[in-house]
Structure 1
Amino acid sequence: MELRQLAYFVAVAEERNFTRAAEREHVAQPGVSAQIRRLERELGQELLHRGGRGVRLTEAGEAVLPYARAALAAVEGARLAVDELTGLLRGHVAVGTVTSHNVDVAGLLAAFHAAHPGVEITLAEAPSDHLVGQLRAGDLDLAIVSVGSAVPEGLASEVVVDEPIVAAVAPDHELAPHDAVSLDTLRGRPLISLPRGTGLRARLDEACATAGFTPRIAFEAGAPEVLAELAARGLGIALLPRAFAVSRADRLRAVPIERPALRGRLVFAWRADGPARPAGRALVARARAMVRAGAAS
């Protein structure tokens, strides 16, 4: 029995198709069929029903599948353990991030790549809720997400940014002269916000629910730059991180929100039990070191 036979069998079982399994394993389809036939002869049982409606597992195939997966996982675990012991990291790390922040993700990934050139890196943008789900599922090793006062269950984190969320308005808006406004001042007024699933929107919805009202969202957009432009055009009150709004002081007034104050926290987050892959653990360690170096400078 060979590992490639088990790998081909698992691929066919999961794809339910010999051609797709061959593409997944980067081999010719006849080679997959031949190796699985050899495995069946060695076990003395057919593992697959081959028919016009696709491929199905036989009863024997159902029994063998978990053991085949376990054998392949054990081999991969042995390779990872040796890589971790020798410091030679290979494989893949997956990183996620929310949009529009000042975290030097490119610098972090470039430094990690220089230290571990054998590791493939992927990066994707998504709302915080989606990223949290991917972290919990193990699809991501590390992500920059927006959170409230508590870290989402099952995750650990390192705070990168913690700043107030302000009401950003055009210079001629009626709230522009105010030194600060209460949350209740926003009741019934047209608000401009990021969509549901983002951390900033979650902070707004939670605070308004506690205050006993539902925010009137007049405009939604996925990028803070769009929110700022809409507010600058007098279309409502944009909820934005203070630093982002202040950087556009020529077109916006950043009015603090008090009673209660809203805060946005960006964190590096990862699974509380740590990424499964050594490369992922190395990336988390480098991200934490970057944050702490920044805090100390």
Structure 2
Amino acid sequence: MELRQLQYFVAVAEEGGFSRAAERLHIVQAAVSQQIARLERELGVTLFDRSTRHVRLSNAGELLLSEARAVLAAAHQVRQVAADIVTGKEGILHLGAVQGPGDRIHRLLSELAVIAPRLQVRLHRLGLVERLAAVQSGELDAALVRALTEAPQVELLPLWSDPLFVALPASHPLAAEPVLRVEQLAGLPLRLAPRDHNPPFHDLIVEAMREAGAEPLLGPPFTALLDTLTAIGSSAPSWTVFYQVTELPSLPRVAIRALAAPTLITSLAVPPGLPTPGVRHLLEAIALTSGTGL
């Protein structure tokens, strides 16, 4: 049984004759008659009553017509889904995610849902090294990364930048400044996570200080944010730098101030070459939300 045979069967039933069905299908009448006859032989039933001047559905034809229409509708749906997958309007987008201020990811995904409502997004929260490896291997279609300027076998598309914040003792004279520069803090021990925990962010801060003519004075390592802030407020003077993920914390004896520079750039890591349709829709969503504080 072929789909075209069902298509011819439905056309004859709806048009009430072989010649009108042939006109509708833009083929010769003989081809319609031949395929209907083949379908009847394969099914072992007579689909049309040809004993009158008008072609009428037989009892078997009436019962099978709705089934034939359902098969043709299903085939059309398969073609439509396949076309949507090719254009990126349907399918699955595997995205390596990071947390961001203002529920950034959720706003981005909401815009993407408007652009491609049938595109399913699977978020994968992995470490930086795992995220990049998954993009390189094709396990992820794309991944959000912070502070990274280059990586092997991936292309980095800068998306947005976020400010950085400084935490220092509220009693320190620099706490009176609303905005601080890294060179002003050079005399205080810096609580920074070891480089192997987050190489791009570690390098961003160290290089910014050196570019400003200051060598970082490394103090106790940064651990969890609240633990580090608590230590800053209760022990010998020191400072740390961090980016906002949720609301800015508020702790006694700790001052949170904006850092003038550098800023934290978030990029989209994708395989080299032309982006896939799903990634193109993601970039479109990012562009549309860039003016709304994304």
Matched, 1:202 2:199: no
Q: Where do 1:160-179 residues align within 5 Å?
A: 160-163=160-163, 165-173=164-172, 175-177=174-176
Aligned length: 210
- Alpha-carbon distance in 2 for matches of 1:185, 1:215: 9
Match of 1:254 among 243, 256, 270: 256
Residues 81, 105 of structure 1: alpha-carbon distance in 2 compared, 3 angstrom cutoff:
same
- Alpha-carbon distance in 1 for matches of 2:159, 2:176: 33
- What's the CA shift for 1:244? 7.0
Specify the structure having the higher radius of gyration (Cα): 2
Paired position in structure 2 for 1:140? 140
- What's the CA shift for 1:203? 0.7
Task: Encode CA deviations 1:108-132: one digit per residue, 9 max, x unaligned.
Answer: 3245356656544221234445434
- Alpha-carbon distance in 2 for matches of 1:181, 1:85: 49
Partner SS state of residue 273, structure 2: coil
- What's the CA shift for 1:281? 3.1
TM, length-normalised to structure 2 = 0.53
- What's the CA shift for 1:274? 3.9
Letter of the 1:97 partner, please give it. A
RMSD of aligned residue pairs (Cα, Å): 4.2
Paired position in structure 2 for 1:281? 280
Matched, 1:107 2:107: yes
Letter of the 2:256 partner, please give it. A
CA contact (8 A) 2:190 2:216 kept: no
Task: Encode CA deviations 1:175-204: one digit per residue, 9 max, x unaligned.
Answer: 434564543743571414486325432312
- What's the CA shift for 1:240? 1.9
- Alpha-carbon distance in 2 for matches of 1:86, 1:98: 26
CA contact (8 A) 1:128 1:198 kept: no
Farther off after superposition, 203-212 or 97-106:
203-212
Partner SS state of residue 220, structure 2: strand
Task: Encode CA deviations 1:60-91: one digit per residue, 9 max, x unaligned.
Answer: xxxxxxxxxxxxxxxxxx9997335576512x
CA contact (8 A) 2:161 2:263 kept: no
CA contact (8 A) 1:135 1:143 kept: yes
- Alpha-carbon distance in 1 for matches of 2:138, 2:216: 34
Partner SS state of residue 159, structure 1: strand
Residues 285, 126 of structure 1: alpha-carbon distance in 2 compared, 3 angstrom cutoff:
same
Partner SS state of residue 90, structure 2: coil
TM, length-normalised to structure 1 = 0.53
- Alpha-carbon distance in 1 for matches of 2:259, 2:264: 12
Q: Where do 1:21-170 residues align within 5 Å?
A: 82-84=83-85, 88-90=89-91, 92-113=92-113, 116=116, 118-147=118-147, 150=149, 154-163=154-163, 165-170=164-169
Match of 1:238 among 240, 243, 264: 240
Unaligned runs of 5+ residues in structure 2 are 1-78
Unaligned runs of 5+ residues in structure 1 are 1-77
